[in-house]
Amino acid sequence: MRMEMQKLSGELKNTPTSTSLACSSVSSELNKEETLSVQNKLLTDNNSEENLQSGRTGQDLRVPVLNIRGKPLMPTTSGKARKLVKQKKAKVVSRTPFVIQLTKATGETKQDLTLGIDAGYSHVGFSAITDEKELISGELTMRKNISKLIEQKSNYRRTRRSRLWHRKPRFNNRTKDKKEKWLAPSMKHKLQTHIKLIDKLKKILPINKTIIEVATFDQQKMQNPEISGIEYQQGELQGYEIKNYLLQKFGRKCMYCGKKNIPLEIEHIIPKSRGGSSRVSNLTIACRKCNLKKGSQTAEEFGYPNIQKQAKKSLKSTPFMNNVRKMLVKQINAEETFGYITKYGRIKYNLDKSHINDAFVIAEGKTQDRCKPYSVTQTRRNNRKLQTNRKGFKPSIRRQRYKLQPNDLVKYNNKGQRVKGVHCYGSRVVLDNKKSVGINKVELINYGKGLQFN
């Protein structure tokens, strides 16, 4: 086997361990976002850590197959895919996930294939199954820095506009005033990520049915299950100002030193700088001295774990659960299910609580053979950045898109490495081993932007 791998030109890397060891051309509109038209060049070291599948044991990963027109067919086993590539009856069109395309016309018998999506705020579970087997599954981890980047952009713009003293201020330029179904940029990003994932799966598998879990949450019930009557209708702060509410709730004394009859301030149990919210469940009362002494610590770090327990779980994800999921169902014309049905199925078939298992149950999975799951990550595509580290020079904006980008997979000295950064105006790249090499000495194999199936 060792001799055979060397005989097959030794140029394969970053493919699943169950896929073909033969090299072939990489070309297709299907894989435009991930792969350049690099002919007959794959990397060595088929057992790269970047593509070893992790998770529970199960059947080998099936290899998605496209027909000669680029339309998805039923996936095949890794053994059959290897033979097709060796016999030049198929070519490799995608590496993550590994996908082949037939070069000759063949039969196109298809089975019913159902895709289950466990939509979430931070993680998305997916599972595609037939009546007998699970063909693909995994969990997507979404980016969490959208709000931070938007705030950073806003600060840059505010600073720049402060120098434009001659321009009149503009107030009525808010997008949400012009559109009825306006979404915050962070929420819009999450919705688009769900759609991109589903479109990606539909391009490589003949999915004819999509089911998404739609759940409705009651924020007041989540915070206080016993709330009822007029308090439920008007809210817990009806008739109170926030400070008066907190003073009465905590007995008009500092919750840290216990002193009374002194000026008291509203204090965050988990500081805002640490991700704490300004909801009542995260607010308490403290004197000025204790508030300054606590600083940016949490109440638990400050030595008061009992106060920390009063902080409730953040409800930032609730708007997504209530609104974006329903928009997702309408946009992709999917069927919907509910959380209690998913929980019932998970308990019935003795499955652990996870996004992947939830997606399996959502897809109406029962006793089908399971497959090894993918771990999908998302990489930022933006390449336009304000350069602020140029000593002695004013800040400038790099508008040119360099040939190589961070996280791209390249070949250097017949080994596959990831690009960590680009410098010297795009003429040199920094690789995994922190070595800087000229861009002419490396060869691009696979883009590292967008959704990465590992």
Both tokens assigned to 377: 């990550």
Ranges of residues in the chain with a pLDDT under 50 are: 1-57, 311
Give the C-alpha separation, 356 to 353, whole Å: 9
Which pLDDT score, from 0 to 100, does residue 322 have?
Answer: 73
Nearest to 92 by CA among 74, 60, 65, 69: 65
In tens, the pLDDT along 131-141 reads 999 999 999 99
Q: Per residue in 378-387, is it b (16+ CB within 10 Å) or e — as a string?
A: beeeeeeeee
Q: Which domains does the chain have, with CATH numbers?
A: 2-110+380-453 (no CATH), 111-163+184-215+338-379 (3.30.420), 236-308 (1.10.30.50)
Q: What is the pLDDT of residue 17?
A: 41
Query: First and final CA of the chain: distance in angstroms?
Result: 25
The rounded distance, in Å, linking the Cα atoms of 20 and 91 is 10
Cβ neighbourhood burial of 421 (10 Å; 0-12, 13-18, 19+)? middle
The gap from C-alpha 447 to its chain's centroid, in whole angstroms, comes to 17
Output the pLDDT for position 258: 87
* Residue 394, pLDDT score: 66
| Cβ–Cβ under 8 Å, residues 269 and 307 | yes
